[in-house]
């Protein structure tokens, strides 16, 4: 009698359907997988898969999921404000400590609520070594307010506040990597991930939930309307980001920048797919194809990013 195949992720559910996320929403996939991964880690560590609470910043995922009188969440969950998820999470963690409640706190924010307005609170939480995982779902702009640029918006991207035009290439600043800022706090665990490799993301969430102390995970989660992509291509594009070298997958533990662990890194440092394959599928980069020098600038930035991470790469 053959045993029935089991899925590689738990079938426990903490994210219920009926929420108002767009069809094909990348961050929605993140919400589902992150909570499942967290519960697996809590079960392994404390014998209780439910031993966690979520503190969630204002943003797309918060707004589509917790609308009085309904909620998509099946774990204890709180939303306070836009920029303070990490601070509120610090308070919840402290309360749980005093209540003797075992488990870990999961703070969630988009790049909107984290990279800019939320950076102070994030830094404070990490520096004080709270037992919190901060998960930043990165759709690379302030999506909930209608696609305005954030410091996480990549070079060349169209957003409503960085529109290409006669005098503009679109976003003209290189992407700020919050993961590296987090790693500089020398916290136990920092990782980048992408829903293009969901099981890598799942493993990293579990790891982040399992370590003692603060952790930070930055996961690429494409936005259908914001990136101007067809809804079925969300995961495919998030995978291309990895395969083209544009989105480094790595883990940094205790701020050890000299011993970064990489995932999906081609052995010879030669990425197989050109960044153009990634850009071509997205309306937000359409205008770049009239400006090949802009695409070259983007490639230079990506090469430089890898060099800072300690790797020489070749980008086709």
Partner 1 sequence: MPMRKVMKGNEAAAWAAKLAKPKVIAAFPITPSTLVPEKISEFVADGELDAEFIKVESEHSAISACVGASAAGVRAFTATASQGLALMHEILFIAAGMRLPIVMAIGNRSLSAPINIWNDWQDTISERDTGWMQFYAENNQEALDLILIAFKVAEDERVLLPAMVGFDAFILTHTVEPVEIPDQEVVDEFLGEYVPKHAYLDPARPITQGSLGFPAHYMEARYKVWEAMENAREVIKEVFDEFEKKFGRRYHMIEEYKTEDAEIILLTMGSLAGTLKDFVDKKREEGVKIGAAKMTVYRPFPIEEIKALAKKAKVLAILEKNVSFGIGGAVFADASRALVNEKEKPILLDFILGLGGRDVTFEQLEEVVEISKKALEGEKVEEINWIGLRKEIL
Partner 2 sequence: MAESPFKADIERVQKEYSEKMTPGAIVYIPGSSVVNKTGSWRVFMPKFNKDKCVRCFLCYTLCPEPAIYLDEESYPVFDYDYCKGCGICANECPTKAIEMVRESK
In the complex, the residues that contact partner 1 under the rule CB under 8 A are 48, 50-53, 55-56, 62-63, 66-69, 71, 73-81, 83-84, 87-99, 101, 103, 120-121, 123-124, 127-128
The listed partner (partner 1, partner 2, none) that binds 17, CB under 5 to 8 Å by sort, is partner 2
The structure tokens 């209608």 sit at 146
Instruction: Tell which one of 69, 98, 268, 293 touches partner 2 (CB under 8 A).
Output: 69
Residue 1 interacts with partner 2 (CB under 8 A)?
A: no
What are the tokens at 305?
């990013």
Cβ-in-10-Å burial (0-12, 13-18, 19+) of 201 comes to buried
Provide, rounded to whole angstroms, the least separation between the CB of residue 200 and partner 1: 27
Q: Which of 184, 183, 248, 185 is nearest to 219 (CA)?
A: 248
| Token pair 């990425």: residue | 271
Q: Does 21 bind partner 2 (CB under 8 A)?
A: yes
At its nearest, how many Å lie between partner 2 and the CB of residue 203? Answer: 13
Residue 53 binds which entry of partner 2, partner 1, none, CB below 5-8 Å type-dependent = partner 1
Nearer to partner 1, 124 or 255 (CB): 124
State the Cα–Cα distance between residues 7 and 29, nearest whole angstrom: 16
- The stretch among 69-77, 174-182, 253-261, 293-301 that binds partner 2 (CB under 8 A) is 69-77
Which of 241, 230, 190 is closest to 211 using CA atoms?
190
Q: Which is nearer to partner 2, 7 or 165 (CB)?
A: 7
Going by DSSP bridges, is the β-strand pair 77-79/70-71 parallel, antiparallel, or unpaired?
Answer: unpaired
Task: Please state, as a whole number, how many other Cβ atoms lie within 10 Å of the Cβ of residue 8.
Answer: 9
**Do 155 and 118 meet the contact criterion of CB atoms below 8 Å apart?**
no
Sole window of 155-163, 232-240, 263-271, 297-305 interacting with partner 2 (rule: CB under 8 A): 232-240
Residue 230 interacts with, from partner 1, partner 2, none (CB under 5-8 Å by kind)? partner 2
Give the one residue of 9, 80, 180, 181 binding partner 2; rule: CB under 8 A.
9
Terminal CA-CA length for the chain:
50
User: Can you tell me which residue has the tokens 């709270």?
Assistant: 130
């Amino acid at each position: 009698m053959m045993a029935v195949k089991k899925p590689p992720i738990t079938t426990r559910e903490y994210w219920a359907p009926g929420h108002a996320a767009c069809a094909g929403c990348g961050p929605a996939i993140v919400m589902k997988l992150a909570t499942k991964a967290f519960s697996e880690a809590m079960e392994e560590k404390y014998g209780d898969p439910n031993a966690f609470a979520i503190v969630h910043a204002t943003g797309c995922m918060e707004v589509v999921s917790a609308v009085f009188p309904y909620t998509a969440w099946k774990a204890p969950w709180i939303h306070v404000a836009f920029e303070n998820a990490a601070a509120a999470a610090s308070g919840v963690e402290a309360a749980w400590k005093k209540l003797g409640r075992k488990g870990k706190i999961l703070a969630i924010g988009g790049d909107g609520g984290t990279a800019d307005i939320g950076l102070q609170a994030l830094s404070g939480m990490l520096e004080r070594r709270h037992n919190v995982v901060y998960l930043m779902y990165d759709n690379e702009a302030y999506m909930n307010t209608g696609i305005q640029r954030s410091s996480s918006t990549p070079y060349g991207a169209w957003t409503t506040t960085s529109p290409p035009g006669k005098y503009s290439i679109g976003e003209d600043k290189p992407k700020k990597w919050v993961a590296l800022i987090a790693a500089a706090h020398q916290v136990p665990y920092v990782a980048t991930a992408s829903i293009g490799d969901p099981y890598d993301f799942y493993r990293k969430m579990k790891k982040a939930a399992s370590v003692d102390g603060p952790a930070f995970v930055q996961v690429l989660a494409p936005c259908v309307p914001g990136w101007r992509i067809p809804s079925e291509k969300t995961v495919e594009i998030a995978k291309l980001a990895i395969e083209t070298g544009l989105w480094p997958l790595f883990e940094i533990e205790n701020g050890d920048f000299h011993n970064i662990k990489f995932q999906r890194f081609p052995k010879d440092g030669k990425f197989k797919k050109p960044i153009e394959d990634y850009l071509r599928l997205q309306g937000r980069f359409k205008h770049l194809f009239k400006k090949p020098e802009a695409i070259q600038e983007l490639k230079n930035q990506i090469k430089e990013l890898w060099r800072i991470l300690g790797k020489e790469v070749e980008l086709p």
